[in-house]
Amino acid sequence: MSAGAAVAKPGGTTPKRRHGCRGPRFATVRRALLAWYDGEQRDLPWRRRCDAYAVWLSEIMLQQTRVETVLPYYHAFLNEFPDIHALAAAPLDDVLRRWAGLGYYSRARSLHAAARIVVGRFGGRFPDSVGGLRDLPGIGRYTAGAVASIAFGAPAPAVDGNVKRVLARLFGVRESIDEAATEARLWDTAGRLVGAERPGDLNQALMELGATVCRPGAPACETCPLRASCAAGKAGDAASLPKRSPKRPAQRVRAAAAAVWRRGRILLIKRPARGLLGGLWQLPSAVVWAERPSKASLPGADGDGVAGPGMLAAALHAQFGVQPAVGAALGVVEHVFTHRRLRLEVYACDFGAAPLASRPAEARWVAPALFEDYALSSLDRKALRVALQGRRPRRMVPLGEKPPGDWCNGSTTDSGSVSKGSNPLSPVRPRRAVRQMSRRPTIPADGTSRSEPVD
Ligand code: SF4
């Protein structure tokens, strides 16, 4: 929407002045929404407990995530951290472990940081204004509006994806909602719609309508409480709204990970606190190739990523001071992040028996029985499944040599299953690794049930 464009009135007519939808028409929409919400709202746990902590937790968890996915995490999280004091007192590792699998891990890190501020600075009481809430880590305009209105009754709008869709259809907004001017106009409209009467319920009613009736693609206009006022419903083009700008294609990234076993335990390292999946545990790994920045910025990688084993060996040498033997590929994990499509190749590696010359600050040999004690993302769980499947053979297979039996006869999918077919990796033999191949490293049986620091 252009900056000067007017918002159409519910009912389809264009107002003479900007923001002409006010007075009785806003009141009509508000009344219809609240009446519908009172009768039709879903019974969700965060609607039974309206204190700021529970509302805040649910709103953070629901960002980019479906209700059905959030429910078990919400219960488990509240069970372990029942209030803001418990969350603030917990180590970040425990919070990340409880969050593991929910994705977007920066949310968990910000949640923990905000809890410590609320307890340390405000004695455990949340700020009750939008401005005060927005000063906390991880709380943006939407979350601040939701918490302020639901927990404190502030007349603040809260515009998420569902609300944008409902408002764009209701007011006949046909410009891209990804444009800043359109988004500003929707926030302005939402601010005028939410009144002093039950602002938290009004915001939740808009979200609920978007989730259950005014759905993407297939709005159920015939059962909608706003059908008498809706511009798009009357025009018959609701399914085509809201308009979106073309999406940027996902960046393709290729990486290699090492499955290194010692006395029945596998080597895990902790990612740096900041960045993608920060603070979570992973197999040691190296980025092989990425579309952006250009592959030329990744020395040693060629366009097909076939230098993966060599780059992995170099990365392991840099981190642990060893000359690792990098064996055959065990499988491939495909994983999609918001703007990245990752292909992670998992290789069997061996460090030999000598003590490591160096190690990252946080590295552990971890027995499979203890994986659940570590904060692991979905990606890392998939990679560990591949590593576990590949540890049965008793000897390493040099690169280029055909692996025995069913060890590695195909690629591994997201579910961890091994698909039939030729090995797509065709790994090359890295010089450092080749020198080590004659050592015949072995992968020992899992005879222990505890983890230990890396020597
Ligand atoms: S469901 Fe139909 S009538 Fe209701 S707000 Fe959405 S587009 Fe309008």
Domain limits of the chain?
24-240, 251-453
Q: Assign 258 to helix, strand or coil.
A: strand
Does ligand 1 have an atom closer than 6 angstroms to the CB of 169? yes
Same fold, 24-240 and 251-453: no
Based on the residue annotation, tell me whether 208 is a catalytic residue of this protein: no
The string of DSSP codes covering 61-86 is: HHTTS-HHHHHHHHHHHHHHS-SHHH
Q: Is the CB of 232 under 6 A from ligand 1?
A: yes
- Specify the 3-state DSSP secondary structure of 284: coil
205 lines ligand 1 (CB under 6 A): no
Strands 251-262 and 285-290: antiparallel
- The conformation of residue 245, written as its DSSP 8-state character, comes to P
Q: Are strands 340-350 and 265-270 parallel, antiparallel or unpaired?
A: unpaired
For residues 16 and 98, what is the distance between their CA atoms, to the nearest angstrom? 53
CATH topology of domain 24-240: Endonuclease III; domain 1 (1.10.340)
Q: Does domain 251-453 have CATH number 3.40.710.10?
A: no
What gap in Å lies between CA 29 and CA 428, rounded to an integer?
65
Best of 9, 207, 230 to mutate for ligand 1, by most ligand atoms within 8 A of CB? Answer: 230
Give the pLDDT of the chain (455 residues) as one tens digit per residue. Answer: 333 344 444 444 444 344 434 433 899 999 999 999 999 999 999 998 889 999 999 999 999 899 999 999 999 999 999 999 999 999 999 999 999 989 889 999 999 999 999 999 999 999 999 999 999 999 999 999 999 999 999 999 999 999 999 999 999 999 999 999 999 999 999 999 998 889 999 999 999 999 999 999 889 999 999 999 999 999 999 999 999 998 888 888 889 999 999 889 999 999 988 888 888 999 999 887 776 544 444 444 444 445 678 889 988 988 888 889 999 899 999 998 878 889 999 999 998 877 777 777 789 999 999 998 899 998 999 999 999 988 754 444 344 333 333 222 223 323 232 222 223 222 323 333 322 322 322 223 333 334 455 54
